[in-house]
């Protein structure tokens, strides 16, 4: 009987120590979602006379932004405007669309709905394919790019 009481006591102490150690263990920080690309653009803010727009949100101090802007500018045509929205030149637009990080690209159609976008650096191939897919669904072998 004494052995049973001792065993029960040891198990209780071990369980209590385990609970204390579990509570003291540091928990991992929750995974943060990436920065959000706006879902809608007010077309009056971005080349209202052109059906498609690629809005490139940038900052003058961001070297990656310059690279993304350069890749996007190649896409400009009479039916697609590429608009740079540099932070110091247009802080109100950065606030309006809650831009938290740059570079950020939003590809919007005639109704202002953002069909694709990228937060952070993007390859020219991915950007161009996303624009093609947004303008003509089914034209890209990777239709999920920018979504």
CATH at residue 109: 3.40.30.10
Quickly state the pLDDT bin for 143 (edges 50, 70, 90): low
Q: What is d(CA 25, CA 13) in angstroms, rounded to the nearest whole number?
A: 18
Q: So what's the pLDDT on residue 16? A: 76
Number of neighbouring beta carbons within 10 Å of residue 39: 13
Question: What is the number of structural domains in the chain?
Answer: 1
Domain that holds residue 85: 43-135
Look at residue 2 and tell me if it is in a domain: no
Look at residue 17 and tell me if it is in a domain: no
Can you tell me the mean pLDDT for 114-135?
94
Q: What is d(CA 106, CA 56) in angstroms, rounded to the nearest whole number?
A: 7
In the predicted structure, residue 10 carries a pLDDT above the cut 80: no
Look at residue 117 and tell me if it is in a domain: yes
pTM for the whole thing? 0.75
Structure-block tokens of residue 43: 């077309």
Tell me the torsion sign for CA atoms 83, 95, 37, 119: positive
**How far is C-alpha 126 from the chain's CA centre?**
15
Residues 6+ apart with CB under 8 A from 78: 50
């Amino acid at each position: 009987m004494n052995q049973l009481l001792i065993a029960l006591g040891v198990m209780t102490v071990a369980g209590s120590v385990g609970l204390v150690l579990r509570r003291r263990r540091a928990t991992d920080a929750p995974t943060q979602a990436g920065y959000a690309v706006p879902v809608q653009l007010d077309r009056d803010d971005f080349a209202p006379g052109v059906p498609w727009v690629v809005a490139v949100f940038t900052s003058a101090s961001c070297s990656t932004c310059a690279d993304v802007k350069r890749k996007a500018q190649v896409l400009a045509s009479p039916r697609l405007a590429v608009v740079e929205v540099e932070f110091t030149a247009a802080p109100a637009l950065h606030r309006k669309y809650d831009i938290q990080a740059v570079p950020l690209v939003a590809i919007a159609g005639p109704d202002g709905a953002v069909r694709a976008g990228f937060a952070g650096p993007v390859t020219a191939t991915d950007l161009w394919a996303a624009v093609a897919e947004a303008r003509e669904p089914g034209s890209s072998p990777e239709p999920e790019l920018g979504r």
